């Protein structure tokens, strides 16, 4: 009974996410037809008039003679194995560009994520435990500032303070080797993390404040459990549920932030690739980045659901919320 | 999508235990109101206050702050202070239109979903869920960029992308109003559903709507400046805070004020709007409770 309910819950979520992926892929494919101009013009760089053979090859490659639906299924089948065609700007395969550009973005994202989790959650707990004190006010003020400051503005201010005035960090570029990367990407990761910390801090603080008022906390303290056990084993574990559900929100903030931060600090990552491609109307590259992002969003959503089930037994034991 | 719409309240204004206004907060909110008024004033009269936002002086070129140019000049010799003042217009007009448009579109859908229920609720909820699953800013970047960019295109796309959070907000609030006796009374009188929704439910949601206007404006401002920063909003050279930041980014070693001043304007305007919105939300919902 329990197991079948669990499976039904997982199945429903999976079906929903698969549908989402279908809808996104359809939208991303349609970009070719959304750009002003015919599909051939869009897919061939327009500097000199293309030879009839080139046009023919492109028509063949994208099945432009067939129906819209058949073009879409053909495109999806290729996209599923990572083949997004050739970049219009450089002429090289989109997959190669994606591979080359993924490393700095991944480094930046993971770095920022670690900062968000290791600063946002403890600070939220601290603010809740020390409620109505200066620490709490400072944490709340920081979260208001974090919500109001976009990553590119934070980035410029960090750049000014730490690279121009103090000269501790390099201003632009991505560096080489792990140490070089760490040094070059510290300011960008900090700028990215500051926008992500705000919501995590808010969710943790509110969750913790609510949890600490529950009867089972009073009871745990009455039983004489250590303060740390009550706070982390009972309090934080329950307070984290809303934080985990906000995981998708955090991903959205980090993704947008990564684009802005990469442009601010001239990091040659996926975000910069997307902006270059968008400005050049390099549709195959835009499609590649978009589908990669969509897959990431869906995988994180799935991971959030699974984690949610592990942490909240009410979901495992019957009371499945839709 | 909108981080403000989903983040929990912060009890910044009223003490969560005594319910009394926090000390020192009146002053802060007052300052926020003054700043909001200042930005609004500059949006209307900015071009008269600072006449020379576009005049180039290539002989001077880039310079650090001085008496004649309090914030210095950018690489084309344009006065940074004048450009910051004139930039208030694009920073206010677009976000205001987005907030209004998203509020009308999203609010109407939310009212419909919440009051009618049934299949319209189902369809609208699916739409909202879909939009919330997408990273809104990225969709905006791709769609605006692929369609060729431009200020009003960005405004239109952002109206569409930010309306779902309004739909969710209004739907939830409408559902809360539905079982109340005054609705029942109106139904017993035989009033048509459309009239009950518009003339009886809507006025009761007004406090919520007013507070969310400020939060929505802050969100729209950040989205618009981000698009301008990426070169997808206003055209090159326009005196716009996001665009100025992008163009002065590389001047940070020569005249930092050219990049920092528009950045500070973005943050202080958004923070003022967010604080005023939070303050209104707590104050107005508290008044409702007291009645």
The whole-number average pLDDT for the span A91-99 is 85
Q: What residues of chain A lie within 8 A of the CB of B277, using their CB? A: none
Q: What residues of chain B lie within 8 A of the CB of A206, using their CB? A: 8-10
pLDDT at B99 (0 to 100): 94
Please report which confidence band the pLDDT of residue B9 belongs to, taking 50, 70 and 90 as the band edges.
low
pLDDT at B224 (0 to 100): 92
What residue in A sits closest to B228 (Cα-Cα)?
A260
Query: Domain range holding A225?
Result: 102-281
Which of A16, A31, A150 best tests the B interface by mutation, with the highest count of B CBs <10 A?
A150
Please report which confidence band the pLDDT of residue A321 belongs to, taking 50, 70 and 90 as the band edges.
very low
**Are the C-beta atoms of A200 and A117 separated by less than 8 Å?**
yes
Asked casually if ipTM beats, i.e. exceeds, 0.85, the reply is: no
Rounded to 10 deg, the angle between the B136-146 and B151-177 helix axes is: 150
Q: What residues of chain A lie within 8 A of the CB of B9, using their CB? A: 206
A121 & A227 share domain: yes
User: Does the CB of B50 have a partner CB in chain A at under 8 Å?
Assistant: no
pLDDT at A76 (0 to 100): 84
**The two structure tokens encoding residue A47:** 């500097």
pLDDT at A46 (0 to 100): 57
B139 & B261 share domain: no
Mean pLDDT check: name the lowest of A36-50, A54-68, A98-112, B147-161: A36-50
Residue A20 and residue B122: Cα distance in Å, rounded? Answer: 17
Q: Does any domain span residue B83?
A: yes
Domain boundary among A80, A112, A129: A80
Q: What residues of chain A lie within 8 A of the CB of B275, using their CB? A: 144
Q: Does any domain span residue A158?
A: yes
B97 & B163 share domain: yes
B55 & B182 share domain: no
Helix, strand, or coil here: A238?
helix
Q: Does any domain span residue B278?
A: no
Per-residue pLDDT reduced to its tens digit, B104-144: 999 999 998 888 888 888 899 888 988 888 888 888 998 88
Backbone dihedral angles phi then psi of residue B14, each to the nearest 5 degrees = -105, 140
Q: What residues of chain B lie within 8 A of the CB of A301, using their CB? A: 133
User: What's the domain count of chain A?
Assistant: 2
Q: What residues of chain A lie within 8 A of the CB of B264, using their CB? A: 153
Which of B122, B147, B249 best tests the A interface by mutation, with the highest count of A CBs <10 A?
B249
Q: What residues of chain A lie within 8 A of the CB of B245, using their CB? A: 152-153, 156
Q: Does any domain span residue A297?
A: no
B63 & B74 share domain: yes
CA distances from B96 to B36, B41, B165, B222, B269 (A): 13, 14, 16, 12, 13
Which of B147, B231, B260 lies at the smallest CB-CB distance from A156?
B260
Q: Does any domain span residue A246?
A: yes
A75 & A126 share domain: no
A34 & A118 share domain: no
What residue in B sits closest to A128 (Cα-Cα)?
B10
A148 & A258 share domain: yes
B56 & B197 share domain: no
**The two structure tokens encoding residue A225:** 């459990």
CA distances from A285 to A109, A219, A299, B142 (A): 21, 58, 21, 11
pLDDT at A322 (0 to 100): 38
B229 & B97 share domain: yes
B185 & B97 share domain: yes
pLDDT at A315 (0 to 100): 63
> Between chains, do A132 and B15 touch, taking CB under 8 Å as contact?
yes
CA distance, residue B59 to nearest chain A CA (Å): 26
Residue A108 and residue A181: Cα distance in Å, rounded? Answer: 9
pLDDT at B1 (0 to 100): 36
pLDDT at A134 (0 to 100): 81
Q: What residues of chain B lie within 8 A of the CB of A256, using their CB? A: 135, 137-138, 141, 226
What residue in A sits closest to B258 (Cα-Cα)?
A156
Q: Does any domain span residue B274?
A: no
**Are the C-beta atoms of A196 and A253 separated by less than 8 Å?**
yes
B183 & B262 share domain: no
Partners of A233 in beta bridges = none
Per-residue pLDDT reduced to its tens digit, A152-171: 999 999 988 888 788 777 76
Q: A64 vs A212, which has greater pLDDT?
A: A212
CA distance, residue A193 to nearest chain B CA (Å): 15
CA distance, residue B198 to nearest chain A CA (Å): 30
Q: What residues of chain B lie within 8 A of the CB of A20, using their CB? A: 130, 133
Q: Does any domain span residue B13?
A: no
Per-residue pLDDT reduced to its tens digit, A184-223: 788 899 999 998 898 888 888 888 888 888 888 888 888 8
User: What's the domain count of chain B?
Assistant: 2
Over the range B194-216, which residues count as b (16 or more CB within 10 Å of their CB) and which as e? eebbeebbbebbebbbebbbbbb
| Most distant CA atoms of chain B, gap in Å | 78
pLDDT at A318 (0 to 100): 53
Q: Does any domain span residue A311?
A: no
Residue A17 has pLDDT above 60, yes or no: yes
> Between chains, do A252 and B136 touch, taking CB under 8 Å as contact?
yes
What residue in B sits closest to A167 (Cα-Cα)?
B253
Mean pLDDT check: name the lowest of A73-77, A284-288, B1-5, B241-245: B1-5
Which of A34, A131, A140 lies at the smallest CB-CB distance from B147?
A34
Per-residue pLDDT reduced to its tens digit, B260-289: 889 999 999 999 998 888 888 877 765 444
Q: What residues of chain A lie within 8 A of the CB of B246, using their CB? A: 263
Q: Does any domain span residue A318?
A: no
For chains A and B, what is the number of CB pairs under 8 angstroms? 151
CA distance, residue A313 to nearest chain B CA (Å): 23
A176 & A63 share domain: no
Which of B3, B133, B226 lies at the smallest CB-CB distance from A152?
B226
Nearest CA to B99 among B35, B159, B42, B161? B159
CA distance, residue B164 to nearest chain A CA (Å): 15
**Are the C-beta atoms of B114 and B170 separated by less than 8 Å?**
yes
Which of A145, A156, A197, A280 best tests the B interface by mutation, with the highest count of B CBs <10 A?
A156
Q: Does any domain span residue B290?
A: no
pTM of the full structure: 0.85
A242 & A198 share domain: yes
CA distance, residue A177 to nearest chain B CA (Å): 25
Q: Does any domain span residue B63?
A: yes
Per-residue pLDDT reduced to its tens digit, B15-38: 656 656 666 677 888 899 999 999
Nearest CA to A262 among A109, A116, A149? A109
Residue B289 and residue B291: Cα distance in Å, rounded? Answer: 6
A41 & A157 share domain: no
A107 & A244 share domain: yes
User: Does the CB of B259 have a partner CB in chain A at under 8 Å?
Assistant: yes
Q: Does any domain span residue A153?
A: yes
Rounded to a whole number of angstroms, the CA Rg of chain B reads 22
Q: Does any domain span residue A316?
A: no
Q: What is the 8-class DSSP label of residue A291?
A: H
Q: What percent of chain A shows pLDDT beyond 90?
A: 6
Q: What residues of chain B lie within 8 A of the CB of A248, using their CB? A: 133
Query: Domain range holding B119?
Result: 88-238
**The two structure tokens encoding residue A177:** 């080797």
User: Does the CB of B137 have a partner CB in chain A at under 8 Å?
Assistant: yes
């Amino acid at each position: 009974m329990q197991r079948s309910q669990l499976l039904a819950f997982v199945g429903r979520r999976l079906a929903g996410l698969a549908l989402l992926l279908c809808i996104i892929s359809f939208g991303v494919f349609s970009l070719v037809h959304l750009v002003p101009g015919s599909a051939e013009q869009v897919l061939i760089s327009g500097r000199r008039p293309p030879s009839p053979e080139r046009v023919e090859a492109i028509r063949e490659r994208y099945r432009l003679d067939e129906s819209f639906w058949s073009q879409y299924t053909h495109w999806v089948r290729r996209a599923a194995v990572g083949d997004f065609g050739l970049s219009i700007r450089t002429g090289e395969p989109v997959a190669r560009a994606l591979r080359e550009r993924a490393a700095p973005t991944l480094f930046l994202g993971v770095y920022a994520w670690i900062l968000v989790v290791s600063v946002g959650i403890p600070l939220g707990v601290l603010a809740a435990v020390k409620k109505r004190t200066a620490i709490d006010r400072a944490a709340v003020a920081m979260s208001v500032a974090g919500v109001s400051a976009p990553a590119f503005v934070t980035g410029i201010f960090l750049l000014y303070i730490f690279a121009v005035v103090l000269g501790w960090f390099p201003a632009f570029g991505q560096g080489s080797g792990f140490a070089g990367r760490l040094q070059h990407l510290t300011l960008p990761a900090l700028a990215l993390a500051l926008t992500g910390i705000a919501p995590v801090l808010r969710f943790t603080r509110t969750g913790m404040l609510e949890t600490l008022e529950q009867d089972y906390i009073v009871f745990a303290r009455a039983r004489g459990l250590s303060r740390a056990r009550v706070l982390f084993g009972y309090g934080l574990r329950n307070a984290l549920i809303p934080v985990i559900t906000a995981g998708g929100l955090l991903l959205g903030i980090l993704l947008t932030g990564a684009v802005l931060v990469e442009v601010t600090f001239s990091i040659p990552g996926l975000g910069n690739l997307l902006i270059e491609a968008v400005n050049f109307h390099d549709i195959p590259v835009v499609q590649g980045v978009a589908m990669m992002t969509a897959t990431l969003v869906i995988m994180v959503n799935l991971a959030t659901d699974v984690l949610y089930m592990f942490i909240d037994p009410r979901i495992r034991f019957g009371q499945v919320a839709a | 999508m909108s981080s403000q719409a989903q983040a929990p309240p912060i009890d910044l204004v009223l003490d969560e235990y005594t319910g009394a206004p926090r000390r020192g907060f009146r002053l802060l909110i007052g300052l926020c109101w003054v700043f909001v008024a200042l930005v609004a004033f500059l949006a209307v009269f900015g071009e008269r206050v600072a006449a020379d936002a576009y005049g180039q002086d290539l002989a001077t070129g880039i310079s650090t702050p001085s008496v004649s140019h309090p914030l210095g000049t950018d690489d084309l010799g344009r006065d940074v202070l004048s450009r910051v003042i004139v930039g208030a217009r694009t920073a206010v007009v677009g976000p205001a239109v987005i907030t209004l448009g998203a509020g009308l579109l999203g609010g109407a859908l939310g009212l419909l979903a919440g009051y009618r229920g049934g299949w319209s609720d189902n369809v609208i909820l699916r739409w909202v869920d879909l939009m919330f699953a997408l990273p809104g800013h990225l969709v905006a970047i791709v769609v605006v960029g692929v369609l060729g960019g431009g200020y009003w295109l960005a405004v239109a796309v952002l109206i569409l992308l930010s309306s779902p959070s309004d739909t969710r907000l209004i739907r939830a609030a409408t559902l809360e109003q539905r079982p109340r006796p005054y609705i029942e009374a109106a139904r017993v009188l035989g009033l048509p559903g459309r009239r009950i929704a518009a003339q009886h439910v809507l006025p009761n949601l007004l406090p919520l709507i007013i507070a969310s206007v400020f939060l929505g404006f802050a969100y729209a401002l950040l989205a618009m400046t981000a698009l301008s920063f990426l070169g997808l909003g206003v055209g090159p050279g326009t005196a716009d805070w996001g665009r100025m930041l992008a163009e002065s980014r590389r001047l940070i070693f020569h005249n930092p004020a050219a990049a920092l001043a528009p950045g500070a304007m973005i943050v202080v305007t958004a923070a003022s709007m967010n604080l005023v919105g939070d303050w209104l939300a707590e104050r107005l919902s508290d008044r409702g409770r007291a009645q």
